[in-house]
Structure 1
C-alpha cells in the first residue's frame, strides 16, 4: 500500500538547507494499522505531505497504492482519505450534510453509493442529530467525527490520520478509537496514524514507526517498542525515554538467532 524508499525532503530557509526528512524507508502493507510517533519537528508531517502528494521528495521514491503521489496526485486522492486533527476539511458555514454533498461532487461519487455510505457512517459515528448543524456550531468531538466521515465517503483503501484525537474528551476519544478499530478490522482499510497520544497507539496499532530527526528510528510491534527500555512497561514512559536518549533508538530488539540491529538515529 505504501512504499517509501530512502525518501528525503529538504528546504532552503534564509539561505540555509534544512533537512526535514533524511533517507527514510518503510513499507505499509494493505490492511495494516500503523502508528507513527516522533517528537515535534521530527519530520512526521513532512512525511505525510509526501505520501499525499502535497510535497515532492527531494530524494528517494515513494508510491501509494502503486502510484507516485506527486505525479498522480488526483488518482492517489481517490485511494486515500486524510484527516488533520488541528484543521478541518469541512465547509465552516455550511450544514454538515451540505459539506458531505460537496465531498461527493469533488470525488464524483455515485449518488446511490453515496447515500448508502453516508447512511453507514451516520449510524456508526452518530452523526444524525447534527447533520443540519453548521460546522462552526459543532463541538470538537462532533466536528472530528464529521471530518472522519468526509474522508471516508469515497471509500478509500488508505486512511491517513494526523492527530485525530487531539483535544477530545474521554468519551469522544473512545468513540473515535472504537470506530477506527472497526474500520480496520471489519472493512480492511489500511490506516496510518500520526499522534502524540500513546493511548491511541496502545489501543489501535499493531505496529509502530518512530521518526527522529527525519530518520527512521524504530519499526516494530508495540511489545518490541516496550522492550527497548528494560524494566519499563508504560509505553508513554518508554517513548519519553527514547525521545530524551535518541541515540538509543533502534530498528527493533534482536530476535533469537539475529544479530543486534544498529542504531539509526
Structure 2
C-alpha cells in the first residue's frame, strides 16, 4: 500500500501583470490585469514506504511548490494529498510529528548549545521515549564517528559536521517520511560521500521514505532508485533510474585502440592513417549493418577511435565485430553517458523548440 498518494494536485496563483513607471503603478491600483500561473498543474504520484525518490526538474519547474504542499506548508488549489493517512495542510499539527525536513544548510539545531543538548530538546518536542532515543544515539555512533562532536556547540562545528548533525536530528524521532532539499549543497567530496552513506544506512534501518530534491546528480545516483521529473507543473517522467537511462541514453560509444600497423593504407603518418581509417570504417560498418541513422566515427586526440551508434538499431557486439574484421584491436572501452548529460538531455527534450 502506498505511503504517499497524490491525485490531480494543482496549485495556481493569480499574479498581477504590472505596468511600467509611476503612472503604470497608479493604474494597477484601480484596474489590475491578472494572469494565472500554474505552478503545479494536475500531478499524480504514488510512493511506497521505504522508497527513495528523486524529485527533479529545472529551476521554476514546480518542485518547491509541490514539496511545500507535501509538507503541509501550502494549501492546494485542488486535488488530494494523503501521506500516511494524513492530509498535510488540514492535519498539519499531527502530521508534522511523522515527517522530517532538511532544507539545504538551514540549521535544525540550536546555535549556542552542544549538539547532544539539541538532540535532547528534539527528544522532548517529538516525545521520543528514553529507550528509542538511546537506541538511535547508539545507532548513530555505529554508523558514523561522533567522537568530539556531540559535546561541541553547534556554532563551533564545520559546515560538513553541521550538515551531518542535521541529518541525524531529522531521523531522531523515526519519521515515516523525510524531505531532503539539496542536503549536500556546498559540501566537499569527502563529506558528500559520508552524508550519502549515512542517509542510505538510516533509510535501510528505519525503512524511511525519502523524497530528495537536488541538482547534484551524484546524490541522485547514489541514493535513489526512482526519478520523478517535473517541468512547468507537470510530471514528465516517473520511473526507475534504470529506465531513465534507457529512455534518454539513445547513443552508445565504443572506444577502440587500433594497431596502425594492421591497417592496409598508404596514408602518411600514424595520425593520418588512423584518421583515414576512421572515415572508411564508418562507411563499411554502415554498409554491413545497413542502419537507418548509421554509426559515426571520430578520432580522439589521444589516438582512440570513437564509434557512436543507437542501441535501438544495433548492439555493441555487432558494431565491435565489424571493427575487428577490418583491423587489429589492442584495447576496447565502452563509454556510458554520465547522469549529468542525461539530465541535460531530459530537460531539453521536454522544452519547447
TM value normalised by structure 2: 0.67
Distance 1:244 1:193, change over 3 A: same
Q: Are positions 1:238 and 2:342 aligned together?
A: yes
Would you identify which runs of 4 or more consecutive aligned residues in structure 1 move more than 6 Å?
none
- 1:42-75 deviation per Cα after TM superposition (whole angstroms, max 9, x unaligned): 1111111111111111111101112101111122
Matched, 1:181 2:200: yes
Distance in 2 between residues matched to 1:97 and 1:185, nearest whole Å:
24
Q: Are residue 32 (structure 1) and residue 47 (structure 2) matched?
A: no
TM-score of the two chains, using structure 1 as the length reference? 0.88
- What is the CA-CA distance between 1:125 and the residue it aligns to? 3.2
Report the number of matched residues.
Answer: 248
Q: Quote the Cα distance in structure 1 between the aligned partners of 2:141 and 2:14.
A: 45
Pick closer, same or farther for the CA change 1:125–1:242 going to 2, 3 Å.
same
Paired residues of 2:105 and 2:163 also in contact (CA < 8 A): no
Is residue 2:79 matched to residue 1:60?
yes
Query: Alpha-carbon deviations, 1:180-222, whole Å to 9, x = none?
Result: 2222233322111111111111122111110111110100111
Alignment RMSD: 1.7
Higher alpha-carbon Rg: 2
Q: Please point out which of 166, 187, 201 is paired with 1:147.
A: 166
Structure 1: gaps (5+ residues): 249-265
Larger relative contact order (Cα-Cα within 8 Å, sequence gap ≥ 6): 1
Q: CA deviation at 1:247?
A: 4.5
DSSP 3-state at the match of 1:182? helix
- 1:20 and 1:213 in contact (8 A); partners too: yes
- What secondary structure is seen at the aligned counterpart in 2 of 1:227? helix
Specify the SS of the correspondent of 1:228: helix
Within a 5 Å distance, the mapping from 1:91-170 to structure 2 comes to 91-170=110-189
Q: CA deviation at 1:243?
A: 1.4
2: CA distance between counterparts of 1:103 and 1:12? 38
Equivalent residues of 2:184, 2:195 under 8 A apart: yes
Change (3 A) 1:74 1:194: same
Displacement after TM superposition at 1:234 (Å): 1.7
Residue 116 of structure 1: CA displacement?
2.3
Residues 127, 146 of structure 1: 8 Å contact kept: no
Distance 2:131 2:119 in 1: 14
